[in-house]
Structure 1
Amino acid sequence: MNASAPHAHLMQPQLTPRPLPAEMLEALKARFGAQRCSTALAVREQHGRDESVFDVPPPEVVVYAESSEEVAFVVALAQRHRVPVIPYGAGSSLEGHLLAVQGGVSLDLSRMNKILRVNAEDLTVTVQAGVTRNQLNAEIRHQGLFFPIDPGADASLGGMAATRASGTNAVRYGTMRENVLALAVVTPQGELIQTGTRARKSSAGYDLSRLYIGSEGTLGVICELTLKLYPLPEAISAAVCFFPSIDAAVQATIQIIQIGVPIARCELLDANAVRAVNAHDRLGLREAPMLLMEFHGSEAGVAEQAGTVQEVAREFGGEDFDWATTPEARTKLWTARHHAYLSGLQMRPGCRAVTTDTCVPISRLAESINESVREVQEAGLPYFIVGHVGDGNFHLAYLIDPNVPAERETAERLSAQMVQRALRLEGTCTGEHGVGLHKQGFLLDEAGEGAVEVMRSLKRALDPHNIMNPGKIFTL
């Protein structure tokens, strides 16, 4: 890492469209028909826009696959014609992952939404890539099981694996990296391969599953996943607590983690975020920095955890503890938390958000957040903060007028400063959003030229014609 000489932040992606031959388009139409192979502008634009600030021309065609074999057909055809393929799940990415910077095919996997096999006795499930986390949890809840990875949006599980997603439960249950046992992947050559098994561990050869998790669609298309499941806790309790400052809330969080409380969720909302969810969800919460926490375990264990946390919070000025012990009350709070991003956008109608997430060692979290807040307040941009602060990860959204270039430039400058600070504190440029288009320069700062060149070497070896989601993570 060379934090003293950061690489240029990518302000706008380089567009190098590759033609889609008529022969390939005809082959796609013949296989999928007009209902599942669309060149309609409205459909293409839907698949050519995510939650990032980039404006990029849409893909040339959208294909809806319904099986791994159909994915393999599309990829093999694209390989033959050297045409880009961009896997598409729910379209909820934030860093430009699904944008067609080189044109090509948007391969929509949302119709691959079957839960293939639940092995309750082994706490595993196998699903198609288009299954969403809410769909999975609704299906397995009656068996007393749940899948804990919760990035907020109702993302597809294939997309969550591709971006190595995590979210509100990561402090206790880990990320997608720790919860995927096996994958079925279509390689850039159009071959369907299996990585891993349902066994909880293995030392058999290279760990290919981990190679594809976090690859952002640049090495292949994830079609099926085998995931770990967990028993629904005997008792669940959630609480909100308000603090006199962000620093006090973060210091309380650090203390909670350092003394070993096995808290399941520990989310920070700053006063701006609380104000936004109040307006959106009509909650009436006190508009001050807030921790939203959840405890899982036995009745006695949850009570003990909650009591310890309440004592720690009071040491840092925490007050107005409000407990939500019924499913309805908890759902109301967590729904509001998941709406925080969209609620925040409504604070400034017509705005776009430049959203940055970083993750640092928990002991450095207060420093990272405090400096970021000071900088954005001095700059005068509207903003809000939400964070999975239990594992040192927070998100800062700068709300900009898309018609005022100076605001975009200010937001990008603040974003760069925030990331460089995280790197100086021995953290990462992205805790869960991924690299996509937006953080390629930051990846170089974090990993160094040598490590990124190893990544490029893997990409060239597995995808020599660069058809899989080209232009993302790094440039070749």
Structure 2
Amino acid sequence: MAEAFPPVRKREGRPGPDAVAALNVDLAARFGNRFTASEAIRKAHGHTLTWLENQPPDAVVFAENRDDVIDLVKLCGRHDAPLIPFGVGTSLEGHVNALHGGVSLDCSRMNAVLAVNADDLDCVVEPGVTRKQLNDHLHDTGLFFPIDPGADASIGGMAATRASGTNAVLYGTMKERVLSLGVVAADGSFVRTGSRAKKSSAGYDLTHLFVGSEGTLGVIVEIALRLAGVPEAISAGTCSFPDVRTACDATIQTIQSGLPIARVELVDALSVRAFNSYAKLALPEQPMLLVEFHGTVSSVAEQVGRFGEIAADNGGGGFVSATRPEDRTKLWQARHDTYWAQMTLRPGARPFATDACVPISRLADCVEETLADIAAAGLIAPIVGHVGDGNFHVSPLIDMSNPAEIHAAEAFASRLAHRAIAMGGTCTGEHGIGQNKIAYMEDEHGLAALDLMRRVKAAFDPQNLFNPGKILPI
């Protein structure tokens, strides 16, 4: 009996040299010096962070406009060549690896801010615009783009991975910030998924099907975004706690009380030590929360006071405020540089960065169990987290010449993922699935949901051209 829906086409291995040569001839003819098969550039467009194997594409094309993308999609379709969209390469789960070869579509030159509609608090950008570039562009408008994953990621990449970050507790994630998309589909057609209206009841929500699709359903070439008003007053600071559980408990009570905190970040004692070493800070080396409050002068003062009471009830020390912009910048830059700072804890080791997210009520339990797991496994694994939304990151530091350590880190990451799922959470709050977390998809979603995802993939991309080998076990 024939299946009601075709299965996702399975790809095996990489194309042979003759197929690559034929593809490159056509790429050179269409894109000229915006095409390259340079080994160094190809490797730079494979995975370069953490320890996943670098799997470079066969070629790289630097697109400059929508027509370039349309032509490249059609050309890849004719050659049956995979196409992997590339922003700035900051993802951690192998999203940009070309395990089946093909073409890396570099969108960095598609970096125009197409429109800013200040009265509507929105804007339209090309995918290569980075978050810092966008906020620089918005500087004199009284608006800003609030999603801050730490790295200066591209907006297209942030939409494709459903990025989050330090501001998510107040401003949400890319899921809440993307209004509509312009997407090039597998047949080369251009599709607009929605409008700039703040809400709609018209048809399927195609926009949010592409948000988080990791380049597996189409190529994002235009993004309409919700913006936020720059707050009148901002106060940031730190508060130390005797242990991680009390810091988590203070976070939980802060959120449950309805306090509109903008940022609340957990930093364990190991990470504080790394911050002090890398950023030349003098923070007390014990678990702490980095927090930030936005609003009017009076509302921020009220928020700081209320948070101080909650922290004190949970054994926290005094709130050390940083109201000057330069002090806030130094504090948050240290948080954003966590990946590099943590490497100072064990020079020569490589971080195995992973994340999980649980309902806020289970946060303290999950972090505490994870700390016990780290100790039992004998790992050096600092923890930081966007704990206001239940998301935390762990980075075991591993000697890559020691197979036993590699095995221990991989086993730990698996236990963490399954622990979070068992608590009603997810194996990844913001890193995404990519290659590295495919193994947890069935546990998290179940076979029926995975089958439905495969049907969506097959309907949108019957040749399995777009970023094959990511998200779905096929």
TM range (shorter): over 0.9
Residue in 2 aligned with 1:28? 27
1:305-324 paired onto structure 2 within 5 Å = 305-324=303-322
| Deviation string, structure 1 residues 252-298 (Cα, Å, up to 9, x no partner) | 10111111101000001101111111111101111111100000011
Partners of 2:295 and 2:358 in 1: CA distance: 28
Partners of 1:245 and 1:26 in 2: CA distance: 60
Residue type matched to 2:285 in 1?
E
Unaligned ranges ≥5, structure 2: 1-10
Partners of 1:150 and 1:58 in 2: CA distance: 28
Residue in 1 aligned with 2:128? 130
Check whether the contact 2:47–2:95 (CA below 8 A) recurs between aligned residues: no
Partners of 1:293 and 1:26 in 2: CA distance: 54
Comparing 44-53 and 59-68, the one that deviates more:
44-53
Partners of 1:67 and 1:440 in 2: CA distance: 32
| 1:319 match: secondary structure | coil
Q: 1:247 aligns with which of 245, 248, 260?
A: 245
Check whether the contact 1:50–1:99 (CA below 8 A) recurs between aligned residues: no
| Deviation string, structure 1 residues 135-174 (Cα, Å, up to 9, x no partner) | 1011102111101111111100000000000110111111
Unaligned ranges ≥5, structure 1: 1-13
Residue in 2 aligned with 1:384? 382
Q: 2:154 aligns with which of 156, 178, 182?
A: 156
Comparing 125-134 and 348-357, the one that deviates more:
348-357
Partners of 1:350 and 1:226 in 2: CA distance: 42
Partners of 2:343 and 2:350 in 1: CA distance: 7
Comparing 257-266 and 20-29, the one that deviates more:
20-29
| 1:182 match: secondary structure | strand
1:40-439 paired onto structure 2 within 5 Å = 40-439=38-437
Check whether the contact 1:355–1:397 (CA below 8 A) recurs between aligned residues: yes
| 2:439 match: secondary structure | helix
| Deviation string, structure 1 residues 319-347 (Cα, Å, up to 9, x no partner) | 14210111111111011110011111232
Partners of 2:72 and 2:409 in 1: CA distance: 39
Cα displacement (A) at 1:359 = 0.8
Check whether the contact 2:48–2:54 (CA below 8 A) recurs between aligned residues: no
Partners of 1:418 and 1:48 in 2: CA distance: 26
Residue in 2 aligned with 1:11? none
Check whether the contact 2:312–2:318 (CA below 8 A) recurs between aligned residues: no
Pair 1:459 & 2:436 matched:
no
Check whether the contact 2:308–2:318 (CA below 8 A) recurs between aligned residues: no
Structure 1 segments, 4+ long, off by >6 Å, are: none
Check whether the contact 1:52–1:93 (CA below 8 A) recurs between aligned residues: no
Check whether the contact 1:87–1:107 (CA below 8 A) recurs between aligned residues: yes
Cα displacement (A) at 1:57 = 3.1
Cα displacement (A) at 1:50 = 3.2
Check whether the contact 2:215–2:467 (CA below 8 A) recurs between aligned residues: yes
| 1:263 match: secondary structure | coil
Corresponding pairs, count: 462
| Deviation string, structure 1 residues 402-461 (Cα, Å, up to 9, x no partner) | 111111110111111111111111111111111111111111100001101100011011
Partners of 1:153 and 1:463 in 2: CA distance: 30
TM-score of the pair, normalised by structure 1: 0.95
Identical columns (%): 54
TM-score of the pair, normalised by structure 2: 0.96
Partners of 2:229 and 2:399 in 1: CA distance: 46
Partners of 1:48 and 1:231 in 2: CA distance: 37
Check whether the contact 2:350–2:399 (CA below 8 A) recurs between aligned residues: yes
Residue in 1 aligned with 2:440? 442
RMSD (Å), alpha carbons: 1.1
Check whether the contact 1:168–1:265 (CA below 8 A) recurs between aligned residues: yes
